[in-house]
Every structure is written in structure tokens, then in C-alpha cells.
A and B are shown apart, each in its own frame.
Chain A
Amino acid sequence: DAGVTQSPTHLIKTRGQQVTLRCSPKSGHDTVSWYQQALGQGPQFIFQYYEEEERQRGNFPDRFSGHQFPNYSSELNVNALLLGDSALYLCASIFRGALNEQFFGPGTRLTVL
């Protein structure tokens, strides 16, 4: 049984570019949350997807958008990249909103130059 997987592992972009990060949740999980973890900080909640819709959103600008597919996998898109978007992006999968059963993937390290 695969856990939460994310791709790519590392990514380097330049300011103004756009990026797409991908996440496959743990088998049987239907909900995906995305978090941004800046260096030396704890993760910050970006948004959560359930039934292919954004269910909740943290304090992030509209440059951050997402999508969930019928197979529950998810993408995080960031437009017009800024230097401050450099961070580890974590995906977490949950079964029906049970945060006490939230499992994190290994993350995608995004560097914006």
C-alpha cells in the first residue's frame, strides 16, 4: 500500500514562471490538503480539496490554485512565481476529513531564482 507520493522531488524556477506540483493520496483517502513550509518554519495551510472542489483555503493569494481529479490525486499550481515562494510544498491526505488520520507526503522542494 503506497503512502502519499509527490512529484517532482525538487524543482528550480525563475521569477514570473508558473509551476505545477502533483500529489497522489494514500490509498482509500479522498481528501487532499496542501501546505507550504518555508525554511525554518512550520507548515502553513494553503487549501484542501474534497470531491474535486476546494473546500477550505488558508491565507494565500489567488496565484495559488489547485485541482483534484476523480481518482483523488491533486495538483497545486502557482503562477507568477516570487522569490518568497521558495519552500517545501507538502501534500497531506485524509480520509473524510479526519485530521487525526492525516498523512503527509515527502514534499516538493521548490526554489525560485
Chain B
Amino acid sequence: GEDVEQSLFLSVREGDSSVINCTYTDSSSTYLYWYKQEPGAGLQLLTYIFSNMDMKQDQRLTVLLNKKDKHLSLRIADTQTGDSAIYFCAESLPYNNNDMRFGAGTRLTVKP
């Protein structure tokens, strides 16, 4: 497909794990990113993974990459109310590393 695709909404209970999924467009993408956007704020880089890796863990965050299916996921362990935000998946394109292609974002709501 031409677009980076994400589910629009996800709702979890505080303390549960959240898994946000993304399908990206180009199997040759060099880096894949997860950004967080809180209301009224810019984007905060959470983590990224190089395309030759299949997993990266950083504290409560785990990124899984399936290059064959062009599928990226972000798992947040022990989700807190402060994790409520919009999460964007993005890829940097192999022929133009200055251009990043973003998904439309997944709105994560964490209920107490």
C-alpha cells in the first residue's frame, strides 16, 4: 500500500499491556520510529529500530519488527494513565532519508 496504516483507537486498563500495530509501506525502509503526541504538544520520539533488527526493548517499551510482512508493533508494559496520547508510527524512506512517512496515529486511552 501507499500509506503507513495504524488502527485509530486503543483502550486499555491501567496496569495492562498495550500493543499498537502499524503496517508500513516500503520493505527497504532504513529506520522505523514510534512517536508520542500529547494534546497541544509536538511529537516526542519514543524509540526507533533499525531495519536489520527484529526487536528492541527500552524499559517499558518493546518494539517488534516483521520485515517480511512490513509490520511494526509497540508494546507498552504496565500502561499508566500518563501514557494516554496519540502514537505515530513512521518510516524513513531508503531513497530519501530526509523524508519521513507517518501513519495517521493511534489514540491510546488508559482507563483507571
For residue B59, give the distance in angstroms from its CB to the closest CB of chain A: 17
For residue A21, give the distance in angstroms from its CB to the closest CB of chain B: 13
Which residues of B are at the interface with A, using a C-beta cutoff of 8 A? 4, 31, 33, 35, 40-45, 48, 88, 90, 92, 96-105
Check B42 against A107 for contact (C-beta < 8 Å): yes
Cβ contact of A99, chosen from B41, B42, B97, cutoff 8 A: B97
For residue A49, give the distance in angstroms from its CB to the closest CB of chain B: 10
Check A33 against B98 for contact (C-beta < 8 Å): yes
Judged by DSSP, the binding face of B is: strand
- A99 and B92 contact, Cβ closer than 8 Å, known pairs A42-B102, A42-B104, A107-B42: yes
Check B45 against A102 for contact (C-beta < 8 Å): yes
> Given the complex of chains A and B, what is the CA–CA distance between A97 and B41 in angstroms?
23
The A-B contact count (CB < 8 A) is 58
For residue A68, CB closer than 8 A to chain B, the reply is: no
- List 22 A–B pairs whose Cβ atoms lie within 8 Å, in order of A's numbering: A40-B104, A41-B104, A42-B90, A42-B103, A42-B105, A44-B102, A45-B99, A45-B100, A45-B101, A92-B43, A97-B97, A99-B31, A99-B33, A99-B92, A99-B98, A100-B33, A100-B45, A100-B48, A104-B35, A104-B45, A105-B42, A106-B41
> Given the complex of chains A and B, what is the CA–CA distance between A111 and B99 in angstroms?
25
The interface size of chain A toward B, counting residues with CB under 8 Å, comes to: 23
> Given the complex of chains A and B, what is the CA–CA distance between A104 and B88 in angstroms?
13
> Given the complex of chains A and B, what is the CA–CA distance between A90 and B43 in angstroms?
9
